[in-house]
Amino acid sequence: MSTRSPFLNRLERMLDLRELPHLSRSARFYRLFQALWLRPDSLNKALGQSVSTQPQRGAVKGSWQVLATALHDMFYPFIWLFRQLIQRPFRTVRHHTGRLVDRALSGQAMERGIAKTAGLVMQVRPLRWLMGVLALGLLLFTAQASLPLVGQWVFIAVCYVFAMLFKRMPERFAHLCLMALTLLLLARYVFWRFTSSLDLESGMEIFLGYTLVAAEAYTWLILIFGFVQTAWPLKRKPLPLEVNLNDWPTVDVYIPTYNEPLSVVRPTVYAAKGLDWPMDKLTVYILDDGHRPAFAEFARQAGVEYISRPDNSHAKAGNINYALKQTHGQYIAIFDCDHIPTRSFLQTSMGWFRRDPKCVMVQTPHHFFSADPFERNFNFFRQMPNEGSLFYGLIQDGNDYWNSSFFCGSCAVIERKALLEVGGIAVETVTEDAHTALKLHSLGYNSVYLNNVQAAGLATETLAGHIGQRIRWARGMAQIFRTDNPMFKKGLSFFQRICYSNAMLHFFYGIPRLIFLIMPMAYLYFEFHLINAAAVTILSYALPQLIISSYTNSVIQGKYRRSFWSEVYETVLSWYIVLPTTLAFINPKLGKFNVTSKGGLIEKSYFDANIAKPYLVLLLLNLVGFLIGIGRLFVFNTHEVGTVLMNLLWCGFNLAILGAAVGVATESVQKYVHHRVRMVIPAFLRLPGGYTVSCHTEEYSAAGLTLNVPDTSRIREFSQVQVGLHRGDREFLFPAKVTFNDKGQLEATFGSLTPEQETQLVQCTFGRADAWLNWQEDQRRDRALGGLKDVFQKGMVGYARLFAWLKEIGSSAARSLMGNRQRNAPWEI
């Protein structure tokens, strides 16, 4: 009788080709690592019902089973023990600490007292200065205080308890306290780093050690500036306009376009025509830099104005500036040609101009109803915040407190008079939007950010297009930092300088990120010591600062970004922005404006090896370093076990990040010309014969609707019907053909719609005032360890995809070799 554990038997069945013939070897390899990470009692859930219900089999002496046995016997006991030692004590402490703190802070009176005290400190200037001086003195004293190793760990435990306490206080006060605690630990780490860890020996160690600390200093600066930016998000609400419509200003709506297809531009134009604004005070313009007759004809049919300039100088900025000379509205609303505005856009945003005479710009978020490459290639669209959520959800709101929210190129309204005062849209850099806002703020004007989604557009389809767009942003920000540096520009407040500087310095992360990805190799390859301290001392200073800062960012940013995903985003882009930012800083005139393509299709999934080359090189370096580190652990550096383990941990984290980066480079299929948007709105079907069926939509697009119909007995597939939708108290009918999809839902595909019907359809769907209100309802709030687990899981997915691609390459090479041999074989007689 077999004495092997049930866990190993389940593992063998999972890896057995005869049990799971539909899985490739790379997929089974990923399952192996997934099984080793999971606890045994959750393995059945990971394997699925089809595996767990199959009959038990004996041991199979295949290569995968031998590997499974070896890996299980070697690593699983350690993994299980590590998880128990780490998770259980922290879970227990967190549980009991939370109960005590909840009791201490229970009751509304306590919360009101804390909020009142915080408000008093913020409002009374002398008290604010006194508290600031005391806080600074305490920070400096604590930062340089010398503690024995045991005392340092006690200090860490106290900080952890305070972090748990702060989290349960009122939100804004809690965020400020967590920021202060993070800065306290950061100060201790920085003081120790510069005074006790840089006494290095050889010249190469000095060079590499100071390079590493320079990269760290960059992250410290970005962290501090980021805390300043997000210390007090303003969270403005829309203001009402005057009751008398005659007092409302005139508005010109600009829709610049260059090479985008008409199918992308048409919905934006139709939605802009439906804006809730007096028709005699609203004019819509198509600004066509592509000089296309078809667009001029479409503008005539749609009843909007068409402007095409004689040249294409200064790209989008020049296009808008040319239109400024041809139009006369008091305010300019600008939309990228793929950003479809809701009908409430102007009524939501224009009220602040009437309240504040110095307000010359109102910006709303950029929202995307299609998946970006990260969301599509990892299949987590609408389950996790996308890359831009942090900026438009939190950072811009934080900038608004310091009067530093800036123009983002679309979904914004700008006063014409102020725009002309700064010479129109800035043309000196390729990020003309942020540069224009910088000029407006330097003249003393105010801006407003409304975190209220009032338009939605298309995200970039491919990773290559996404990288190209970010390269332009990075180059433009480096150009501004070089030619019009906010730290030295007249007219800006101190905090405006910090907010703008942080926005520009952020795009210099390429070099620091690459340094963090390759620095473990210095020890693992060559045994260079970059930090002159024992491993346990390094951990006692570095690890608490990393943990608390990650925890603080998770609490503050958890609604807008998952923990550790910034590392993935930066790793994907770091190699590609290093050269553009460096060259733009040296010579700001280098580089040109590139238009981001939208509305494309991906007919077949493929691995973009050209884009992934830098990640593959870095991955190979870290993988070889990790294997060398294993050898050093048992053979070469047995006297420095702690140092080896620390570098292996660093290298392992890099491997997870790089695996996720490789996974993003596998482009998933994008088969829809018209992207589908999930939304539940009332609808009805008018069947042949006049019978009407009430229903509601599940998804909609410009091509059709997915309908949830309670009773489909009267509906036949392929029958011609009319679909009814409402806009306000009006209803509109659209001819459609109905079919049933795989889920049994009804698909209504529109036939040839007239221009008037297309306009009505866009205004009933994308242009609805409530179109994007519940967009984030499916997203769960971030937990730091959960974010780390997500990154590791996506890293394993990336490795599985890489192995599948290598297998395909190997098979293609083998087939090619066999074909060459057959062609070169001698004739047989």
- Cα 753 from chain centroid (whole Å): 37
Residues comprising the chain, all counted: 829
- 599 backbone dihedrals φ, ψ, rounded to 5°: 85, 20
In sequence order, the 6+-apart residues with CB closer than 8 A to the CB of 595 are 258, 259, 315, 316
Asked whether 671 and 601 are in contact (CB, 8 A), the reply is yes
Q: Which helix (H) or strand (E) holds 695?
A: strand 692-700
Helix and strand numbers (H, E) in the chain are 30, 18
Asked whether 537 and 149 are in contact (CB, 8 A), the reply is yes
Q: At what angle are helices 293-302 and 262-273 packed, to 10 degrees?
A: 20
What is the spatial distance between Cα 365 and Cα 384, in angstroms, rounded to a whole number?
17
DSSP 4: S
Q: Which helix (H) or strand (E) holds 91?
A: helix 63-104
Could you confirm whether 41 is annotated as catalytic? no
DSSP 634: I
CA-CA distances (angstroms) from residue 76 to 177, 512, 551?
40, 35, 28
Is the sign of the CA dihedral 512, 514, 515, 516 positive or negative? positive
What is the spatial distance between Cα 384 and Cα 376, in angstroms, rounded to a whole number?
11
Helix, strand, coil % in the chain, rounded to nearest 5: 55, 10, 30
Q: Which helix (H) or strand (E) holds 607?
A: strand 606-607
- Among all chains, which residue has been given the structure tokens 């080709």? 17
Q: Strands 331-334, 412-415: parallel, antiparallel or unpaired by DSSP?
A: antiparallel
Could you confirm whether 247 is annotated as catalytic? no
Is the sign of the CA dihedral 116, 122, 124, 128 positive or negative? positive
Per-position DSSP letters for 140-178, written without gaps between them? HHHHH----HHHHHHHHHHHHHHHHHHHTS-HHHHHHHH
What is the spatial distance between Cα 35 and Cα 474, in angstroms, rounded to a whole number?
41
- Among all chains, which residue has been given the structure tokens 């309908």? 707
What is the spatial distance between Cα 409 and Cα 396, in angstroms, rounded to a whole number?
14
In sequence order, the 6+-apart residues with CB closer than 8 A to the CB of 251 are 277, 281, 282, 283, 329, 330, 331, 332, 333, 346, 350, 413
What is the spatial distance between Cα 508 and Cα 578, in angstroms, rounded to a whole number?
7
CA-CA distances (angstroms) from residue 25 to 29, 343, 357, 573?
6, 52, 66, 30
Using only the alpha carbons of the chain, give its radius of gyration.
Answer: 30
16, 433, 484, 782: the active-site residue: 433
Residues in a beta bridge with 667: 606
DSSP 368: B
List the one residue out of 589, 592, 588, 252 whose CA is nearest residue 420: 252
288, 289, 338, 790: the active-site residue: 289
Residue type at 592 in one-letter notation: K
The set of catalytic residues is 289, 433
